[in-house]
Amino acid sequence: MSTLTAAAPRDSVRPVRRRITAGRLILHAFLITMVVVWLFPLFWAIYSSLRPIADTINHGYVSLPASLGFDNYVTVWQQADMPHFYLNTFVIVVPGVILALTLASMVAFCCSQFSWRFNLLVLMLFTGGNLLPPQVIIIPLYWIYRLTQIPNLALIDFGSFSIPLFSDNGLLYDQYIGIILIHVVFQTGFATFVLSNYMKTINKEITESALVDGANIFRIWRSVMLPLCRPALAAVATLLFTFMYNDFFWALLLLKSGDKRPITSALNNLQGEFFVNYNLVAAGAMLAAIPPLVVFIALQKHFVAGLTLGSTKG
């Protein structure tokens, strides 16, 4: 670590090792302190969410609990109609991720395995579009959504929950399909960028020999490229799920009906009217946080891989 050890590495092996151990201890102590700092806000939210408000009022906020339980969760789940908002999110995110992956993998395939006049320009349009702040386009987008006519062909009912195909007010505005559409288009930019980075590393001879064998490029995309890209697709799917699940902006401005809102923006709506105390706020926030946390814990590898692919090779 010092000039001395570097100059005489062999003689100083033992002292170095001892010093490293001491250094390691300090390092771990520091990291553990930081971990405590990092986890505290989340711990506090979980703690508050498990504590009945009466107990908090009796003993004060910073105190040991007399009782803990899931009462706040039950209250939020039932009275704020959480299952409905989870379903809204589901209806938006599942088609959103699938469509964005499909479109992006096609563009990435055509742009990375073949070179034609505008392939770089196309990649730049997609990548640049994804980097724009959404607020730059929201005003015209809002009016496009208000003015575009969309037919309603059917209504799919699941008990009290119904999904219009495609629009129950004849517009793109205030519809699941509108939110899905903007998610797909916006995130196709990101996914195209990441997937084309990945596809660049795939030997072009594979595509070529498939062409020689007489497969058309759609078939090559479907049966050769997609299976080869499975790791990248998994990584991007994980990220897209999180991006779409966590979205607040599009749903806030392009949806009006409270009962169509996905869970994150519904949470904001509940803030004023339903969350009468902070322990309920905590339970609501935790309920919204659980799906992405579960995905993260289960698929952490993909998560990091996706972000890394999007950065190191760019």
Partner 1 sequence: MANRANASTTPAPAGAAGAGELVVTRQRRRYSRLTRIDKRLMVLMVGIPLALDLILIWGPTVASILLSFTNWSGIGPLTPANVVGLKNYQTLFFSYLFFWPAVKHNVIWLAFFTFISTPIGMFFAVLLDRELRGGRIYQSIFFMPVVLSLVVVGFIWELQYAPNDGFINNFFGLVKSHHIVDWLGDPNINLYSVLIAASWRQVGYIMVLYLAGLKSVDLALREAAKVDGANEVQTFFRVVLPVMAPINVVVVVITAIESLRAFDIAYIVNRGKNGLELLSTLITNNSLSEASLVGFGSAIAVVLLVVSLVPIMLFLSRVMRTLQ
Q: Give the one residue of 91, 93, 101, 107 binding partner 1; rule: CB under 8 A.
A: 107
Q: Give the one residue of 64, 133, 230, 272 binding partner 1; rule: CB under 8 A.
A: 133
Minimum CB distance to partner 1 smaller for 30 or for 161: 30
Subset of residues 245 to 264 that bind partner 1, contact rule: CB under 8 A: 245-249, 252-253, 264
Instruction: Report residue 166: phi and psi, to 5°.
Output: -115, -20
Dist CA 256 CA 11 (whole Å)? 74
Minimum distance between the CB of residue 160 and partner 1, rounded to whole angstroms?
A: 25
Residue 27 as a binder of partner 1 (CB under 8 A): the answer is yes
Residue 211 as a binder of partner 1 (CB under 8 A): the answer is yes
Minimum distance between the CB of residue 90 and partner 1, rounded to whole angstroms?
A: 15
The token pair that represents 39 in the structure block: 């986890």
Minimum distance between the CB of residue 41 and partner 1, rounded to whole angstroms?
A: 5
Q: How far does Cα 176 stand from its chain's mean position?
A: 18
- The residue assigned the tokens 């946390």 is 293
Decide: 285 and 208 in contact? Cβ < 8 Å: no
Residue 122 as a binder of partner 1 (CB under 8 A): the answer is yes
Q: Give the one residue of 94, 139, 155, 276 binding partner 1; rule: CB under 8 A.
A: 139
Buried b (16+ CB within 10 A) or exposed e, 223-238: ebbbebbeebbbbbbb
Decide: 207 and 224 in contact? Cβ < 8 Å: yes
Helices 176-200 and 300-312: angle between axes, nearest 10 degrees: 70
Residue 240 as a binder of partner 1 (CB under 8 A): the answer is no
- How many residues touch partner 1 (CB under 8 A)? 109
Q: Give the per-residue contact string, 153-192, with partner 1 (x = CB under 8 A; - = no).
A: ----------------------------xx-xxx-xx--x
Which residues face 162 on adjacent strands?
157
Minimum distance between the CB of residue 218 and partner 1, rounded to whole angstroms?
A: 5
Residue 312 as a binder of partner 1 (CB under 8 A): the answer is yes
Instruction: List Cβ neighbours of 214 (8 Å cut-off, separation of 6 or more).
Output: none
Dist CA 8 CA 304 (whole Å)? 40
Subset of residues 39 to 58 that bind partner 1, contact rule: CB under 8 A: 39, 41-42, 44-45, 48
Mark the segment that binds partner 1 (CB under 8 A) among 20-28, 71-79, 161-169, 223-231: 20-28
Q: Give the one residue of 13, 25, 31, 156 binding partner 1; rule: CB under 8 A.
A: 31
Residue 307 as a binder of partner 1 (CB under 8 A): the answer is yes
The letter for the amino acid at 106 is M
Decide: 183 and 299 in contact? Cβ < 8 Å: no
Minimum distance between the CB of residue 85 and partner 1, rounded to whole angstroms?
A: 12
Residue 120 as a binder of partner 1 (CB under 8 A): the answer is yes
DSSP codes joined into one string, 102-157? HHHHHHHHHHHHS--TTHHHHHHHHHHHHHS-HHHHHHHHHHHHHH-B--EEEEEE
Q: Give the one residue of 22, 62, 64, 153 binding partner 1; rule: CB under 8 A.
A: 62
